[in-house]
Structure 1
């Protein structure tokens, strides 16, 4: 019966990140720096709020868009943190993680033949969702601009078919951020055009120098903001995300969301409410630890003579490995077999990621020190 499966589904593949993670899972004594998951537990007070919801039998459906008090908290959070203004009544939707939010957004705004511009290397989760919605991904090579999508770089790729530009900053896999001036330049380029900007800001609370900026401050009416609690509050398994969009767009997003999942988990929503209110600044302690790890790993990579851009957000480094004259897959697999360290091949992040590997430093300092020692021995022997 496989021949009856939707052809769009058959054409997409599993994430290259997960494929490599699964490939090396059976190797012994391997330190895996592959998965972008915080190594901190969910804050205790947030867990207590979730347990309280269970104890009080708060286990029923909620409003399709989520609890109004949670949407109010989300509205206040992004206003205080990033200067964004969204009405909790009709411009915020609580989703099952940021991934579902992105899926709903693409299915709402894309039609067959719509083009979506992606700055590359880029998280591999966008392309399959774009294709399933009938769109076509268009990749822009950012490797010559320190992984930043600039207005000058973007301009030649805009056509009559362009429906959306994805701004995934802070970036997975590079950790790079955009300044407010850089975002303003992109906003000037697309302002007034029939083009949406999907601003994926899931790492917004993990910016190390300065503060996070959103393009929604410049072109609010054209922007769909994606965010959530997975990275900021170490709540990956709770699956709570948010869509922020003008009412004219959000009312259609809500229809897609409603028929997809009805609503986000009631228990998780109660925990999320605690996270966005009492735990508004919970990310600060984690961010401090991440920055220490970033500085340590970056310095070690530089001493190993890797060419690597020092990021300002998220928890990834994306070193260039072209000096070793191997494909990113072959280098990563050899590193596992010969050094006991697992990184993600850059090819998992589109063709423009070839020649790089992604290293997640969302791991303990002890693990990172052992991993760096092993890597240094390995590359020294290669040299």
Structure 2
């Protein structure tokens, strides 16, 4: 049977291909998926289990439990000082991925262009394509992959309707400065563009890095939809809880779409998310300390390997490794590394053409495994 034209345009990511391929090897160290190895905090698990025991396993409102939406609005107010009405401006979704897809589907029309600074998470472009839009990758400053607002402004056309920003950035770990966000805001206001702010990694910051939300920039509250997730902050990837906050009309449209796509996020997961937001954040702090320790280990180890180098990421739990001196593209390097050293990494081409001289390492394995992976990478490079 013939599938749709759009279905034919959507391809499995190289991340998943490497993840699946890695299962064919014994003793493999898989550094592909951004799936934390830390457990979900016990009090969060208990809240989810308690909800199940109490029979809270039914549908909720399409926009999610009001108690959770209220907790989300309180979190945003505490972090930014900006108030949102939880009954009108917040939707709970099936992960941040659900929020992003519902948002893009709710806002763009056939042929509309969406600006995405590169390197970028591949799913952004796929979601735009699935919604009939045109993803437009905007190259960054190669020195540290800093956002090039000059190129961003040049990329705006009469068909541009939205831009997606991700800070801290997957895969580079770059954290946008306030000055960069002000420049983005100027472009958005001048051209009346909706800014989708994916802040899934906003809590994973290292050293003296400081996170600024674009809604902190004057005039951006009404032009921004915040998207966030419980997956990275609380190691809840399998619970599938995310949210979006912003304009009432857009949130309402997203809710109508969700009614027809997923109905709602699982009720027990929502109760777990309430416990996560309102409970102690000590486990989050400990995870971030662990990621920073692993980051330092990887950065030091990689920079000692001939032909490999990397910058020290400011946030996320990824390290973007420059492989250009090997003379290989990122796909060939990644599959060869897996075959000969049993270490799985993600080819940088996954994140757009700007990333083809890089591979991404996820800091989501224990210290011993990460140390061994770096050792194997060194042996592999020496064998070339």
TM-score range, shorter chain: over 0.9
- Specify the alignment match of 1:33 in structure 2: 31
Provide the secondary structure at the position in 1 that maps to 2:243. strand
1:214 maps to what in 2?
213
- The equivalent residue for 2:156 is 158
Q: Give the conservation status (yes or no) of the 8 Å contact 1:86–1:246.
A: no
Which stretch shows the higher mean deviation, 106-115 or 22-31?
22-31
1:321 maps to which of 316, 320, 323: 323
Shift of 1:279: 3.6
1:260 aligns with 261
In the alignment, the residues of structure 2 paired with residue 68 and residue 280 of structure 1 have an alpha-carbon distance, to the nearest angstrom, of 22
SS in 1 for 2:298: helix
Q: Which residue of 2 aligns with 1:23?
A: 21
Aligned to 1:117: 115
Aligned to 1:283: 284
Residue of structure 1 equivalent to 2:48: 50
RMSD value over aligned CA atoms?
A: 1.4
Q: Secondary structure at the match of 2:228?
A: strand
Length, aligned pairs only? 380
Q: Normalising to structure 1: TM-score of the pair? A: 0.96
Partners of 2:110 and 2:157 in 1: CA distance: 15
For residue 27 of structure 1, give the secondary structure of its aligned residue in structure 2. Answer: coil
Is 1:127–2:125 an aligned residue pair?
yes
Secondary structure of the residue that 1:191 maps to in structure 2? helix
CA contact (8 A) 1:143 1:352 kept: no
Pairing of 1:1-383 with structure 2 (within 5 A): 1=1, 3=2, 5-142=3-140, 144-208=142-206, 209-218=208-217, 219-305=220-306, 306-382=308-384
After superposing the two structures, state which structure 1 stretch, 249-258 or 227-236, moved more.
249-258
Q: Is the partner of 1:289 in helix, strand or coil? A: helix
Q: CA 1:279–1:260 in structure 2 vs 1: closer, same or farther (change >3 Å)?
A: farther
8 A Cα contact 1:82 1:212, kept in partner = no
Deviations 1:120-140 (A, max 9, x none): 111111111101111001111
The Cα of 1:155 is off from its aligned counterpart by 1.0
Is the contact made by 2:209 and 2:314 (CA closer than 8 Å) also made in structure 1?
no
> 1:206 and 1:237 mapped to 2: Cα distance?
19
- Rounded Cα–Cα distance in structure 2 between residues aligned with 1:197 and 1:374: 42
Instruction: Please give the secondary structure, in 2, of the residue aligned with 1:236.
Output: coil
CA distance in 2, matches of 1:331, 1:132: 30
* 1:172 partner SS: coil
- Change in Cα spacing, 1:153 to 1:168, as seen in structure 2 (3 Å) is same
Q: Contact (CA 8 Å) 2:175, 2:209: kept in 1 or not?
A: no
- Contact residue 104 and residue 253 of structure 1 kept, 8 A: yes
Query: How far did residue 280 of structure 1 move?
Result: 4.1
